[in-house]
C-alpha cells in the first residue's frame, strides 16, 4: 500500500517520499484514511510507530483544501512536553513543505515574544503545550474560534503530568463542531473517559499493544549493586557495537551524577531533563544527533517523544517504577522497524520494578551473569516471583512529573514561523 493510495494529495506524497518513507506504517495505514474522511480517531500507539505523520498528513491535507489568504488557527495540536511539541512542529514543516500553510510551536520555558509575534502574523496550525497555551489564551493572544481539528498527542502522558484540567479548559474554548484525533500509548480509564466526552463516533486504531515491547529489541538484564552501577555502565559503554546510547535515569540528579562520572572517566555525554534550559537541551540533542556526543543521559519526561535516529543502545541505569515506561524507553532503540538493544541494570531495591515489568511484557528478561560487578543480592532468583499475587508499584497519576511553568523562564527560542 502506498501513501498515494491512502488518498493523500501529490505535494504530501512527494514530501513523505523526500523524507525517505517508502510505505505507510500500520498506524498510518489505519488512521490516515478515516482521518481524511473527517472521522474522529482514537489511536493507541507508541512513539516510534509513525503516529505523528498519521495525524499530521490528514491535518495538512484538510487545511490545504480550504486554505484562505489570511491564515487563522484551524488546527490545534496539544502535546505534553516541549520536546515533543518541537518535534511535531518539525514534522509539520517536513510534511507540509510543498504546501502553503503556516505553523508555529509554543511552549513554556522560553521567551514568549517570538511566539506572540508568530500568533499575530497568522498561522494555520498551532502546536502547543497546555500551560503556555492557556497562559497566552487568558491574555488574549490566541484565538481558537476557527479551530476545525484538535489533536491530543500522548494523552496518557498529559494525564500523568496533571494537564487534564488544562486540556479541558482549552477544549472548552474550541468550536463544538470539529474533528478530534486523540493518540495515547496506553489507554487508562481516565483517557477512555476523556475520549468518550470529546469524540464523536471515533474510529479506533489501536495498532500497537503497549505491553508488547518492540519485538526486534534485544533485552538484557544486569543485577548490580547501586554503588557499582556507574562502573558497570562504563564497561557496557565500552562494549563493541555501542555507538550511540540513550541512558535513562529515574531522577534529574541521578542523570547529572552519571554525566559527571562519565566526564571524569573520559566519556563525553550530556544530560537532558526538566532542570536544563531549553537551549541546553536543544544543544545536547543536536550534538547527539550529529554524533559529537555518543551518550545522552535522560529522564523519562525529557526523553518522551524525542525522535532520535540510530540509537544503538538504550541503557536503563535505573529501572522505571512504572512498567509501561520500560516499554517506552526501549522503543527508542527500534524506531520505524530498525532493530536495537536494551540493557537494564537492577539493584536489590529495584527487584519489585523488575517484577512489574516482566509481568507487563509477559516474559523474563535475559540475565547476564558474566560481568565484573555482580550484585550482592540474590541475582539468579526469578524476579517475576518476587511479589506473589502482584499489585503494582505505580504511583498515583499526577505524582512525580514536574509541571511545566506557566509564565515561563525567559531564555529565547521557540515560535519560529515557517511555511513554504
Ligand atoms: P513517530 O512515531 O511519529 O515519532 O515516528 C517515528 C519515526 O519514524 C520518525 O523518525 C519518523 O520520521 C519515522 N517514520 C514515520 N513514518 C514513517 C514511514 N512511513 N516510513 C519510515 N519511517 C517513518
pLDDT per residue rounded down to tens, the chain (420 residues): 799 999 999 999 999 999 998 889 889 999 999 999 999 999 988 777 889 999 999 999 999 999 888 899 999 999 999 889 999 999 999 999 999 999 999 999 899 999 999 999 999 999 999 999 999 999 999 999 999 999 999 998 888 788 999 999 999 999 999 999 999 887 778 888 888 899 999 999 875 454 445 567 889 999 999 999 999 999 999 988 788 899 999 888 999 999 999 999 999 999 988 777 778 888 888 888 888 899 999 988 777 656 677 788 999 999 998 888 898 888 887 655 556 899 999 999 999 999 988 888 878 899 999 899 999 875 444 443 333 333 333 222 222 222 121 222 222 333 333 333
Query: And the C-alpha cell for 111?
Result: 521567551
What fold characterizes domain 4-210+398-406? Rossmann fold (3.40.50)
**Distance from the alpha carbon of residue 91 to the mean position of ligand 1, in angstroms:** 10
**Distance from the alpha carbon of residue 168 to the mean position of ligand 1, in angstroms:** 29
**Distance from the alpha carbon of residue 336 to the mean position of ligand 1, in angstroms:** 6
What fold characterizes domain 217-367? Rossmann fold (3.40.50)
Candidates 105, 100, 113; CA nearest to 71 is: 100
b/e code 84-97 from CB counts within 10 Å (16+ = b): bbbbbbbbbbebbb
**Ligand 1 atom nearest residue 87's Cα:** 4
Strands 341-346 and 179-184: unpaired
CA distance 231 to 241: 18
Residue ranges around ligand 1 (CB below 6 Å): 21, 24-25, 28, 47-53, 307, 309, 335-336
Common-topology check for domains 4-210+398-406 and 217-367? yes
CA distance 74 to 58: 13
CA distance 261 to 281: 19
Per the CB < 8 A criterion, the answer to whether 166 and 131 are in contact is: yes
**Distance from the alpha carbon of residue 121 to the mean position of ligand 1, in angstroms:** 30
Residue 385 has a pLDDT of 36
Residue 49 has a pLDDT of 80
**Ligand 1 atom nearest residue 45's Cα:** 2
Residue 305 has a pLDDT of 58
Residue 269 has a pLDDT of 93
- The domain ranges of the chain are 4-210+398-406, 217-367
Residue 18 has a pLDDT of 94
Strands 295-298 and 366-367: unpaired
Q: How is the beta sheet containing 179-184 ordered, strand by strand?
A: 103-106, 125-128, 75-78, 149-152, 179-184, 41-44, 203-204
Residue 214 has a pLDDT of 59
Give the number of other CB atoms < 10 A from CB of residue 378. Answer: 11
How would you class 234 by CB atoms within 10 Å of its CB: exposed for 0-12, middle for 13-18, buried for 19 or more? middle
Indicate which residue's Cα is closest to atom 20 of ligand 1.
21
Most ligand 1 atoms within 8 A of CB, residue of 53, 84, 93, 207 to mutate: 53
CA distance 259 to 247: 10
Amino acid at each position: 500500500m502506498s501513501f498515494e493510495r491512502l488518498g493523500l494529495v501529490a505535494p504530501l506524497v512527494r514530501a513523505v517520499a523526500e523524507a525517505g518513507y517508502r510505505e505507510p506504517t500500520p498506524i498510518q495505514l489505519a488512521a490516515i484514511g478515516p482521518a481524511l474522511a473527517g472521522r474522529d480517531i482514537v489511536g493507541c500507539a507508541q512513539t516510534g510507530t509513525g503516529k505523528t505523520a498519521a495525524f499530521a498528513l490528514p491535518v495538512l491535507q484538510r487545511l490545504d483544501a480550504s486554505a484562505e489568504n489570511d491564515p487563522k488557527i484551524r488546527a490545534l495540536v496539544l502535546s505534553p512536553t516541549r520536546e515533543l511539541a518541537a518535534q511535531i512542529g518539525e514534522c509539520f514543516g517536513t510534511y507540509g513543505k510543498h504546501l502553503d500553510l503556516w505553523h508555529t510551536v509554543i511552549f513554556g520555558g522560553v521567551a514568549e515574544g517570538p511566539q506572540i509575534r508568530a500568533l499575530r502574523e497568522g498561522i494555520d496550525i498551532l502546536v502547543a503545550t497546555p500551560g503556555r497555551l492557556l497562559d497566552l489564551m487568558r491574555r488574549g493572544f490566541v484565538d481558537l474560534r476557527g479551530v476545525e481539528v484538535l489533536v491530543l498527542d500522548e494523552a496518557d502522558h498529559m494525564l500523568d503530568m496533571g494537564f487534564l484540567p488544562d486540556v479541558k479548559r482549552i477544549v472548552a474554548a474550541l468550536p463544538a463542531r470539529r474533528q478530534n484525533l486523540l493518540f495515547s500509548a496506553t489507554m487508562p480509564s481516565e483517557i477512555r473517559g476523556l475520549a468518550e466526552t470529546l469524540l464523536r463516533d471515533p474510529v479506533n486504531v489501536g495498532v500497537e499493544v503497549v505491553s508488547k515491547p518492540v519485538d526486534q529489541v534485544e533485552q538484557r538484564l544486569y543485577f548490580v549493586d547501586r554503588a557499582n552501577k556507574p562502573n558497570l555502565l562504563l564497561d557496557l559503554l565500552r562494549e563493541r557495537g555501542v555507538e550511540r546510547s540513550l541512558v535513562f535515569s529515574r531522577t534529574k540528579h541521578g542523570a547529572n551524577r552519571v554525566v559527571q562520572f562519565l566526564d571524569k572517566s573520559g566519556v563525553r555525554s550530556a544530560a537532558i531533563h526538566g532542570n536544563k534550559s531549553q537551549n541546553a537541551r536543544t544543544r545536547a540533542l543536536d550534538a547527539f544527533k550529529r554524533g559529537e556526543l555518543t551518550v545522552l543521559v535522560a529522564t523519562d519526561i525529557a526523553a518522551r517523544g524525542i525522535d532520535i535516529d540510530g540509537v544503538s543502545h538504550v541503557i536503563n541505569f535505573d529501572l522505571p517504577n512504572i512498567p509501561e515506561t520500560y516499554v517506552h524507553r526501549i522503543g527508542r532503540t527500534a524506531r520505524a522497524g530498525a532493530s536495537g538493544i536494551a540493557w537494564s541494570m537492577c539493584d536489590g531495591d529495584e527487584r519489585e520494578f523488575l517484577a512489574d515489568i516482566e509481568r507487563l511484557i509477559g516474559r523474563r528478561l535475559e540475565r547476564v551473569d558474566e560481568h565484573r560487578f555482580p550484585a550482592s543480592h540474590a541475582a539468579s532468583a526469578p524476579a517475576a516471583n518476587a511479589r506473589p499475587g502482584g499489585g503494582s508499584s505505580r504511583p498515583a497519576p499526577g505524582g512525580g512529573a514536574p509541571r511545566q511553568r506557566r509564565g515561563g523562564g525567559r531564555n529565547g527560542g521557540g515560535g519560529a514561523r515557517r511555511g513554504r
